[in-house]
Structure 1
Amino acid sequence: MTDRTTPTLASIAARVGVSVNTVSRALRAPNTVRPELRQKIRAAMDELNYVPNRLAGGLSGTRSDVVGVIVTSLHHSEFASLVDTLQAELLAQDLQVMLANTRYDPDEEVRLVRAVLSWRPAAIAIVGIDHPPKAVELLKAAGVPVVEMWDVDGPVIDTAVGIDHRAIGRAQGQHLVERGYRRLAFLGSLRDNDSRAHKRLAGVEEATSAAGLGHVVRRTEPLPGNPDLGERLLGELIERQSDVDAVVCNSDVIAYGVLRGLRRLGRDVPGDVGVIGFGDSEASSCLTPALTTVRPDREAIGRLAAAAILSRIDGGGPEIRRADWRLMTRETTARQSRIPLAMAAAIPADPLGKG
């Protein structure tokens, strides 16, 4: 991939009206430069999308053999098998992985994008297609292949590999409606910048709307997902909306807490309340009752992302690659259907949602 013209220390110095040495000191030893001047230099770096070059001087005009991989979370190993597969595929081609975790923090994402780019990576793989504007600017200006992972529903920077989260939400909602559940709730960790969870919620709402049901009740907080959060949110939900008979959880670990909470409340699953998760974590099929959930093909996303990276490095064009996912129907939604087949048939099925 051909490099674009990139800003230098000299262009930063010219913008601020100081020497190159002053800009260099601001980067290497910021305490030796006045705070007001440091702020001006940093503003100029942002305006010009400047990224420091951390490679040795003799290699300053080359790319490294590093592929930067930026994920949004390492919590409960959501992306572990994806990254593991991606790394294995890249290592086979003598490319090393540099892993970074944004923790769903947009400011941290910008810092990490700048930091990874400073190592002049051969490519960057990053989770999601919705990023802070400054991160997008930096990635577009870097002149390296960018492969966005885990989502393909919307505009992309360069190349994307992932799944359609809105279609997954529709499949979750349709599944519950077909089994006679009428009063659906969406529960769990929902951050403003977690567009994938928002798309799944929108898909659930599309399914209930198509079935002529009421609105989907929401009980969410912008916190890392864990069973304790799931149980607490379930308790708050039931206290305010006791007639809810199905809960769509934004992750399996949230669903674990929901199931624990329903058991403590004496609610039968799936008779009184159905529960469906997302992720198909290893424990989900081992629970009693076993959790109905959606299994994204993480390994396939890792393989496809690696193939896309290698293709772009070799001069191939941008592309969108879709991975498969499966609705794993288990005991937590095993209630027999209580709605007419005509109503269930009115909800369009997604061809990728294989049960």
Structure 2
Amino acid sequence: MAEAAGVSKMTASRVLRNEGGFSEQTRERVLAEVARLGYLPNRLATVFSGDQKSTFIGVSIPDLGNEVFTHVLEGIDRKLCSFGHQTVLGMTQRAAGEEEKWIETVLAWQPAGLILTGRAHTNRSLQLLENAKIPVVEIWDLNSSPFDMCVGLNHFDSGYQMGRYLLTKGYTRFGYVGTSHDAANAAAARLNGFDRAIADGSASLKKQVLLKDVPGFYTGYYGIEQLLSGAPETEVVFFQNDNMAVGAIHFCESQKISVPRDLGIAGWGELPIASVLPYRLTTVQVNHLRIGQIASEKLLMRINGDSARKVTDVGFRLIEGETV
């Protein structure tokens, strides 16, 4: 590109970085060749040379199959892109070991900061983050003592509040359907809160069904079938998310089980799938997009040398629908 413009590589570099020391005619000639050749500067090499701050932000989420995290990621990407940053995405499958590998890899790209889903990290991951000396935001699970910063909600409390609400509706025999909690995660915290509320109300959690699958429509469909076959006396079922709850409602329709007359159903997350129902689903509302936006705002503040609150609780709201 420099040769085509008839200038030295150093002059072309100064033009691209707008450093000065060249004439307007030289600038126009270089930029014309940039446009003609479709030249793209090597930003990574520029960062490694120490000439410019990194524009990369590493973002880890469990997987793209969970709709919740696609909304969180959308909030992150919108905010970061508006300030000229690019996300480097990693999927950890909720495995601390996988997150550790990803952190080690992404730090080699010298990112400006990291956004990590969850609060459970290996000791080596924590050491890598400590040595990197870059801002880090943990999202999703509220953590009163984060590694650096945190944006999330109290999942235990959201499950507890749902349990208390269902008790006020007169239910005494409860069920739960979700996915496997092999590792500590937010869904496990919600179930623990739900279980505690039921116990505090002197009621019983008749059956839990934890499936080794993604928390989607079909998981809810066959999950409710398993639960009712093992505990037909169940009066109301709390689902890990709305996708599963809607799947369960469709199963009930296929079996002529009236919701909520014969069986109450509650979800979590207020996901878009619930809009296909002819009535409002009882659920917990969470602003997933806002979690991503706030996390990005905190990170950008720190990157720019400003202070930011260590912990931000985005909260939740119970939606009193027509399915219980």
| 1:251 pairs with 2:241 | yes
| 1:331 pairs with 2:322 | yes
Q: What does residue 188 of structure 1 align with?
A: 178
Secondary structure, counterpart of 1:332 in structure 2: coil
| 1:103 pairs with 2:90 | no
Q: Which aligned segments of 4 or more residues in structure 1 are displaced greater than 3 angstroms?
A: 54-58, 60-63
TM-score (norm 1): 0.73
Q: What does residue 59 of structure 1 align with?
A: 48
Aligned counterparts, 1:15-54, within 5 A: none
1:199 to partner: Cα distance: 0.7
| Percent sequence identity over aligned pairs | 28
Secondary structure, counterpart of 1:225 in structure 2: coil
Q: Which amino acid aligns with 1:101?
A: M
Q: Which amino acid aligns with 1:82?
A: V
| 1:112 pairs with 2:102 | yes
Identify which range, 130-139 or 297-306, moves more after superposition. Answer: 130-139
Q: Tell me how far apart the structure 2 counterparts of residues 323 and 57 of structure 1 sit (CA, whole Å).
A: 37
Q: What does residue 84 of structure 1 align with?
A: 74
Q: What does residue 71 of structure 1 align with?
A: 61
Q: What does residue 37 of structure 1 align with?
A: none
1:228 to partner: Cα distance: 1.8
1:60 to partner: Cα distance: 5.2
Indicate how the Cα distance of structure 1 residues 257 and 194 shifts in structure 2: closer, same or farther if over 3 A, else same.
farther
Aligned counterparts, 1:1-355, within 5 A: 55-56=44-45, 59=48, 63-153=53-143, 155-215=145-205, 217-313=207-303, 314-316=305-307, 319-333=310-324
8 Å CA contact retained: 1:246, 1:275: yes
Q: Which amino acid aligns with 1:327?
A: L
Q: Which amino acid aligns with 2:48?
A: L
Indicate how the Cα distance of structure 1 residues 187 and 264 shifts in structure 2: closer, same or farther if over 3 A, else same.
same
Please give the per-residue CA displacement for 1:34-76, whole angstroms capped at 9, x wherever unaligned. Answer: xxxxxxxxxxxxxxxxxxxx95387255751111111112114
> What number of residue pairs does the alignment pair up?
280
1:329 to partner: Cα distance: 1.9
Structure showing greater Rg = 2
Indicate how the Cα distance of structure 1 residues 332 and 304 shifts in structure 2: closer, same or farther if over 3 A, else same.
same
Indicate how the Cα distance of structure 1 residues 208 and 58 shifts in structure 2: closer, same or farther if over 3 A, else same.
closer
Q: Tell me how far apart the structure 2 counterparts of residues 191 and 109 of structure 1 sit (CA, whole Å).
A: 17
Please give the per-residue CA displacement for 1:156-209, whole angstroms capped at 9, x wherever unaligned. Answer: 211000111011001111121111111111111133225101110111012112
- Stretches of structure 2 that go unaligned for 5 or more consecutive residues are 1-42
Identify which range, 253-262 or 179-188, moves more after superposition. Answer: 253-262
Q: Tell me how far apart the structure 1 counterparts of residues 181 and 86 of structure 2 sit (CA, whole Å).
A: 31
Secondary structure, counterpart of 1:331 in structure 2: coil
- Stretches of structure 1 that go unaligned for 5 or more consecutive residues are 1-53, 334-355
Secondary structure, counterpart of 1:248 in structure 2: strand
Please give the per-residue CA displacement for 1:117-148, whole angstroms capped at 9, x wherever unaligned. Answer: 11111000111112333333322332111100
Q: Tell me how far apart the structure 1 counterparts of residues 318 and 285 of structure 2 sit (CA, whole Å).
A: 6
Q: What does residue 27 of structure 2 align with?
A: none
Secondary structure, counterpart of 2:323 in structure 1: helix
Q: Tell me how far apart the structure 2 counterparts of residues 222 and 160 of structure 1 sit (CA, whole Å).
A: 29
1:308 to partner: Cα distance: 1.1
TM-score (norm 2): 0.80
